[in-house]
Amino acid sequence: MTTQPSLTSQAFQDPGTIDEIQFLDHWIRFGPTQSGWVSFVARQGERPMIVLASDRETLLAQSHKLVEQRIAGRS
């Protein structure tokens, strides 16, 4: 049986450039790809949501907004 690389490592151009931040109760893993930026947003134990953007600042703003919307939806 062969081990497949994770979705995160497949998406990034250079896995060494992956950054990770915690925002509220979610983890945001993000980095550059060949065509822009991608982030994986999830709470511990949940399936990640994927956010795409052309630049880092937009990506982080969209990722934060997504987390805020998810939290507001749970209230």
For residue 34, what pLDDT is reported?
A: 86
- At 15-72, the pLDDT tens digits run 677 899 999 999 999 999 888 999 999 998 889 999 999 999 999 999 999 999 999 9
Evaluate if residue 3 carries a pLDDT over 80: no
For 15-38, give the DSSP string. GGG-EEEEETTEEEEEEE-SSSEE
Domain ranges (residues) in the chain: 15-74
- The answer to whether 40 touches 53, Cβ cutoff 8 Å, is no
The residue among 64 and 2 whose pLDDT is bigger is 64
Residues 5-9, mean pLDDT to the nearest whole number: 53
Task: Please state whether the predicted TM-score (pTM) of the whole model is above 0.95.
Answer: no
φ/ψ (deg, to 5) at 6? -70, 160
